[in-house]
Amino acid sequence: MSEPRIVIRKAQEEDCESLLELIKELAIFEKAPQEVSVTLEHFKASGFSSNPVWWALVACVIDPETQEEKIIGMALYYIRYSTWKGQRMYLEDIIVTEAWRSKGIGRMLMSQLIFEAKQKNLPAIMWQVLDWNTEAIKFYKRYNAVFDDEWLNVTLHINS
């Protein structure tokens, strides 16, 4: 029996439901499931309108028998601007569903993300990681990522 094949590809609009499921899984892992309030409609429009604000790569497992694919991971990013440094890729989320972790999927996503940044002539990728997420921190250290202990996260909620 053949092994399932893993492919990394750009996300398509029809992937959005699966991406939201991964986002909800991540929120549960990060102990904040109640924080996910984005609707499927808003999520789709934000990524697939004429002016998208995010892009994503998806990791899919291809069933060797049926050739059906199932999304098992994603890396969602956008372009941010630094007045000091110019454009940077901002990695909002990278997640591999629990059953597929520790199988090299995260490395595959990160490699493709680095390739995307190079293709877009972006000199850096930035992201956040929770200080208690030791497995993610170990993963990022393999890439010689620089951790910053000086800056604090700040959010200002605007009521409509």
User: What strands lie across the sheet with 69-82, from one edge to the other?
Assistant: 5-10, 55-62, 69-82, 86-96, 125-126
What is the biggest distance separating any 2 CA atoms in the chain, rounded to whole angstroms? Answer: 56
Q: Which entry of 77, 81, 140, 143 is annotated as an active-site residue? A: 140
Positive or negative: CA dihedral 20, 26, 32, 33? positive
Active-site residue 140, yes or no? yes
Residue 89 three-state SS? strand
DSSP 153: -
- CB neighbours (10 Å) of residue 54? 17
45 phi/psi in degrees, rounded to 5 = -60, -35
Judge contact between 122 and 80, C-beta under 8 A.
no
Residues forming the active site: 140
